[in-house]
Amino acid sequence: MLIQKNSFTWHFSFDNFGIYIVYFAMKKIVFSVAVCFVVLFSACVLSACSVAVDNGFQVALIQGNQDDQGNGRRPQDDQGNGRRPQDDQGEDDQGNPGKDPQGEPKDNPQGEPKDNPQGEPKDNPQDEPKGKPQDKPQEKAPNTITTADELARFAWEVNNGDDKRGMTYKLGNDIDLNVAPFNTGAGWIPIGRWTPVQSERHFFNGIFDGAGYKITGLYINNRNINDRVGLFSMVESDAVIKNLGVTGVNITGNLYVGGIASVMGGTMINCYTTGVIRGVSQVGGLAGHGSGSIINSFSSVDISYFDDNFNTGGNWMGGIVGFFNGIEISGCSFSGTIDGRALIGGIAGFARGVVRYCSFSGSINGNRAIGGIVGDTFICTVISCVTTGTINGVISDIIVGDLRSSTII
């Protein structure tokens, strides 16, 4: 048999059949190898292109980050000046505060709102009685306070966490608080801050010396049960308030209401109050609640009560302090009036500790446990106190209305 293929003539026979098989097999193998080579070569080319593109993108990204951080070339601004981004963020090459577009130094390099960080009204340097901090003053309070605004700065600093421990502040002259914004709305925001959230409470723990001067026209109208009202709100145990007069007060609060301090944990010396105070419970001419010492101080305020939703008003009311659980009340006097229900005293509504050398010359109207010096006592010693005032009540006494585990000397 003759086979003609591509101008070649093959002589087919069973003798050369094996050769034909080998020839065709080799032809198939060569073709397959060629196809594989082409496929592998194409894959290598595509992979190389992909790596090159990816590397180029990474290089561009790194270069862009360097530019944004000021480490590489400076991006051009709209005028082609080549300013670095941190120039817009308030620092120059030496780390000094930057300038605004008008070239003035920025007064707030940290990016806080300049005028009103808490969103409160700009013309009110104190906050509303919602537990929020008032507007941040432009300057720190001086150690000698001479104006209502400086006193408000001092209050803001205490109410935002600076307890003034180890520091002394004093008055440089009389201060009138009967001016806007302190005589409108809720009125004065006390120095020191109490809230139901313990971590948000801030106490005054320094020394406040009135230096014989007085604060007049203190106005507060805040019946929020969660607020503690007075010139000061929360006074810590190491604090001292001395040589201070607070006159013409007009205070309306709820619990723990006092002319000078709502809660007096420290020492009060040579202080006095006049005016009008109203509250539900634990109300006093100088302090609503006391746990320290009150010495050589007096009050002639008129104290009255209003009921809360449970009709529990008019309890624990005193000419000096409403509720006292402290060290001593010494050399104090009261010549005002008190109108309440029960547990009322010319010096303290309730007292535990020592009450000595005190006097009462005002008038008290109440019902139960009414005393010229103390309404109700427990583990208390009353020493050399006198009463010349008027007491009207069912259960009353010229010295102590309800004497429990206590001694009168």
pLDDT tens, residue order, the chain (409 aa) = 444 444 444 444 445 555 556 556 666 666 666 656 665 666 555 555 444 444 444 434 344 444 444 443 333 443 334 333 333 333 343 334 333 433 343 444 333 433 433 333 333 434 444 334 455 555 678 899 999 999 999 999 999 999 999 999 999 999 999 999 999 999 999 999 888 888 788 999 999 999 999 999 999 999 998 889 999 999 999 999 999 999 999 999 999 999 999 999 999 999 999 999 999 999 999 999 999 999 999 999 999 999 877 677 899 999 999 999 999 999 999 999 999 999 999 999 999 999 999 999 999 999 999 999 999 999 999 999 999 999 998 888 999 999 999 999 9
Q: What is the pLDDT of residue 32?
A: 65
Contact 362, 388 (CB under 8 A): no
Q: What is the pLDDT of residue 286?
A: 98
Q: What is the pLDDT of residue 35?
A: 59
Q: What is the pLDDT of residue 34?
A: 65
Q: What is the pLDDT of residue 290?
A: 97
Q: What is the pLDDT of residue 225?
A: 87
Q: What is the pLDDT of residue 311?
A: 72
